[in-house]
């Protein structure tokens, strides 16, 4: 009996280590998937829009990519955790405002009041610089910005019948809620879906054009 107890404890300890390893591997994979999808969306957008592209759309995909790469690295080593916090602050502060501003510019909703186009970005600057200056992520400022952007994108979707941008904004807000509750892997999956919705909304024809290319993956299988 005295020999059985240490063996049992060792087995439990080994199982816990295995579970922790699998959890960390899945977390790293989810971050890597965010970076991979964002970089591919950036490449598709830049290839088909070219000189007509705007910095807001570029910023959306670039910040998503940096957040994913930083998360993948920080999930392997803890030496970059403080840097990943900055990336996360930039993610929740700028990505959805960039999408909102980009859609407002594309749909030309305020032709006589161009200054209103940049209100979402200004609201995003507030929590980010508050974090830089104070070292604290102001949840109230972030939620004010996100809720405002969700309302604005809902208005854009209603006026222009573009429901992808509405779905994207809701996915981003849900991803923020999941991350806040500690469910980071689920949050990253939602961010992947958000990125795809953003690409389809910002550049609605680029995905269809990509599918027509002869080198599009799995085309021979009918996808």
pLDDT computed for residue 188 by the predictor? 95
pLDDT for residue 140 is more than 70: yes
pLDDT computed for residue 51 by the predictor? 63
pLDDT for residue 174 is more than 50: yes
Q: Which tokens hold the place of 209?
A: 């054009």
pLDDT for residue 217 is more than 90: no
Q: Which residues does 92 contact at the CB level (< 8 Å), separation at least 6? A: 127, 137, 142, 146, 176, 179
**Cα(175)–Cα(25) distance, integer angstroms:** 20
Give the H or E element holding residue 15: helix 4-49
pLDDT computed for residue 25 by the predictor? 79
Rounded to two decimals, the pTM is 0.82
pLDDT for residue 172 is more than 90: yes
**Cα(96)–Cα(111) distance, integer angstroms:** 22
35-60 burial code (b ≥16 CB/10 A, e <16): bbbbbbbbebbeeebeeebeebbbbb
pLDDT computed for residue 171 by the predictor? 95
Q: What is the mean pLDDT of residues 22-39?
A: 88
- pLDDT tens digits, residue range 93-134? 999 999 999 998 888 776 667 777 888 899 999 999 988 888
Tell me which of 204 and 90 has the higher pLDDT: 90
Q: What is the mean pLDDT of residues 49-62?
A: 80
Contact by Cβ (8 Å): 59, 86: no
Tell me which of 50 and 142 has the higher pLDDT: 142
Q: What is the residue-averaged pLDDT of the chain? A: 81
Q: Which residue has the tokens 């994913």?
A: 68
């Amino acid at each position: 009996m005295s020999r059985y107890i240490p063996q049992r404890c060792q087995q439990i300890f080994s199982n816990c280590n295995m579970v922790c390893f699998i959890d960390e591997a899945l977390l790293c994979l989810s971050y890597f998937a965010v970076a991979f999808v964002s970089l591919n969306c950036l490449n598709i957008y830049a290839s088909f829009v070219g000189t007509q592209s705007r910095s807001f759309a570029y910023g959306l995909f670039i910040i998503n990519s940096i957040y994913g790469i930083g998360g993948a690295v920080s999930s392997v080593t803890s030496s970059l955790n403080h840097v990943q916090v900055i990336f996360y602050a930039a993610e929740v502060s700028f990505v959805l405002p960039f999408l909102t501003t980009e859609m407002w510019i594309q749909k030309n909703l305020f032709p006589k009041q161009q200054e209103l186009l940049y209100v979402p970005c200004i609201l995003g600057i507030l929590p980010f610089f508050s974090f830089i200056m104070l070292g604290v992520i102001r949840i109230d400022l972030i939620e004010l910005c996100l809720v405002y952007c969700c309302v604005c994108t809902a208005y854009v979707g209603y006026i222009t019948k573009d429901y992808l941008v509405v779905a994207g904004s809701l996915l981003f807000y849900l991803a923020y809620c999941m991350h806040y509750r500690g469910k980071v892997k689920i949050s990253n999956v939602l961010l992947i879906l958000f990125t795809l919705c953003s690409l389809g909304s910002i550049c609605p024809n680029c995905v269809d054009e990509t599918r027509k290319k002869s080198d599009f993956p799995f085309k021979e299988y009918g996808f």
